Amino acid sequence: MYSRRKFIKDGSLAAGGLLLASSSFSNFFIPRAPKVVIIGAGFAGLSAAYYLYKKKIDFVILEARNRIGGRVFSHIMDQKENLVIELGAEWVGNSHERLQNLCNVFGLELQKNQFDSHLIYQGRYYKNGEWDYSEGWKKKFQSIIDSYSKLTHADKLKLDKMDWWRFLVNNGCEGRDLDLRELLDSTDFGETIRSVSAFAALAEYAESSEKNEMDLKIKGGNSMLAKKIAAAIGEEKIKLQHKVNRITQNAKTGVTVYCENGQVFKADKIICTAPTFAVKNIKWEPGLPADQINAMNELQYARINKNPLLFKKRFWKDESFDMVTDQSPHYFYHATKNQNSKKGVLISYTIGEKAAVVANQTDDWRENMVMQTLKPHFNDAKEEFERMTNYYWGNDMYSHGAYAVYGKGQWFRVMPILKRSHIHTHFAGEHLAEWQGFMEGAINTGEEAAAKIR
């Protein structure tokens, strides 16, 4: 039986095969190569561009921001110490083959970025290894994961109609076990598990690596891959601060793409990798079909706030330190693992309502909040604190969230509608991927969209 991910992989191979077939046909008939406008220089747009570049198909990337990478956003936290942290995507999964392949191609080193989780729960601090789920729930959860491969399509549709919290409760998860699952799983999805499709959650846990794809990171920051692809395809092919605001498409004459800065581009095809919020803000002529607009209106994105705190000393001692808490800072992790310095950065990673609250406060407020959680268990936290920065994805003007959250009944109903091409436009981006919510998914969909260009 097909798994969620195998299906898409084989689909993209088939598309690649078609492309090859049509180019060998060109020995007899040489059609004019299409020109392509790619909207967005995130991982979906860049991987689409790299695919077209290798096929010698002409393209231009139009990017609204003044930087490439999109939701991959490495940031230097301390210039002198060269401490680089991620304001967007952090982990590369052990199962994320395309991303790892691209790192190989461009000579980028992937460093181990796995963590050993500590816990603060109901006022008590537990070191890694001192806490766990109950034996009964561990056994039950394993049996649920094991049964995933036997689910029929009808079972999956039924599961998708339920939220992950309800599914866990129905399977006997309760009390402390349920609290812990909510804390850990909401960190993965960026919102409470009461708003996540049970199918999407189960598929992710059943098909992911042991550490749930929190395995690796690109040395020097994940943005290194964006830079390498940009250099390979030619930086002049990427037009920064070119926000697309209108698109006209004609079945016979192709497309015209208008930017807010007055620039106009004519092409044959478009690959649009913008998140749904940004897609809807473009004036499409003719308009997008009503069901596609409804699907965009339905889909929510996770509110994640990243609050990196620079400390003069790594008082948490363990280089692989991360910590889940049932308090306002939610989840902490050591963001400068593998980076040589006395100083270090802990990121407080908040989700959902917590993120929205934390994002709206002052740095002093955030410092007090973090210290209230850390100080009782880590004496030196306050003395060693140097400064912080903050990025709230819920207010990001292009995505209004970190990544899509497929809720009850949405995975099988909403995603296929969003994936549909519109005249000459193929859509891509993490929200359309089997590895949804991951850099890998963005790359997969970018390559799949590019493979459709003939």
**Looking only at residues 354 through 393 of this chain, which bind ligand FAD when binding is defined by CB under 6 A?**
393
89 near ligand FAD, rule: CB under 6 A: yes
* C-alpha distance across the termini of the chain, in Å: 31
Output DSSP code: residue 426: E
**Looking only at residues 296 through 315 of this chain, which bind ligand FAD when binding is defined by CB under 6 A?**
304, 306
- Closer to ligand FAD by Cβ: residue 42 or 137: 42
**What are the residues facing 283 on neighbouring strands?**
246
Stretch in the footprint of ligand FAD (CB under 6 A) among 19-27, 58-66, 333-341, 378-386: 58-66
Stretch in the footprint of ligand FAD (CB under 6 A) among 144-152, 162-170, 227-235, 436-444: 436-444
- Closer to ligand FAD by Cβ: residue 78 or 430: 430
- Closer to ligand FAD by Cβ: residue 218 or 381: 218
185 near ligand FAD, rule: CB under 6 A: no
CB 358 within 8 A of CB 306: no
275 near ligand FAD, rule: CB under 6 A: yes
- Name the token pair of 14: 């088939």
- Closer to ligand FAD by Cβ: residue 37 or 183: 37
d(CA 169, CA 92): 31
Q: What separation in angstroms does the CA of 62 have from each of 59, 143, 181, 257? A: 10, 48, 41, 10
State residue 18 phi and psi, 5-degree precision.
-60, -40
- Closer to ligand FAD by Cβ: residue 73 or 141: 73
With a CB cutoff of 8 Å and minimum separation 6, the contacts of 21 are: none
90 near ligand FAD, rule: CB under 6 A: yes
- Closer to ligand FAD by Cβ: residue 171 or 300: 300
Q: Determine which helix (DSSP H) or strand (DSSP E) holds 22, and give its type and residue range.
A: helix 4-25
- Closer to ligand FAD by Cβ: residue 44 or 453: 44
72 near ligand FAD, rule: CB under 6 A: yes
- Closer to ligand FAD by Cβ: residue 39 or 370: 39
Give, in degrees to the nearest 5, the angle at Cα 224 between 344 and 316.
Answer: 15
Q: What is the DSSP string of 185-218?
A: HHHHHSS-GGGSBHHHHHHHHHHS-TTTT--EEE
Residue where the block lists tokens 């909040």 = 369
Smallest separation, CB 203 to ligand FAD (Å): 16
Of residues 4, 8, 43, 165, which one binds ligand FAD by CB under 6 A?
Answer: 43
64 near ligand FAD, rule: CB under 6 A: yes
Say if strands 300-301 and 304-311 run parallel, antiparallel, or are unpaired.
unpaired
Amino acid, single-letter form, for residue 39: I
Of residues 191, 268, 430, 447, which one binds ligand FAD by CB under 6 A?
Answer: 430
Say if strands 391-392 and 331-334 run parallel, antiparallel, or are unpaired.
unpaired
Q: Cis bond leading into 308, ω under 30°?
A: no
Output DSSP code: residue 104: H
Stretch in the footprint of ligand FAD (CB under 6 A) among 42-50, 165-173, 319-327, 418-426: 42-50
Give the residues lining the site for ligand FAD (CB under 6 A).
39-45, 62-65, 70-72, 88-91, 243-244, 273-275, 278, 282, 304, 306, 393, 398-399, 402-403, 429-430, 437-442
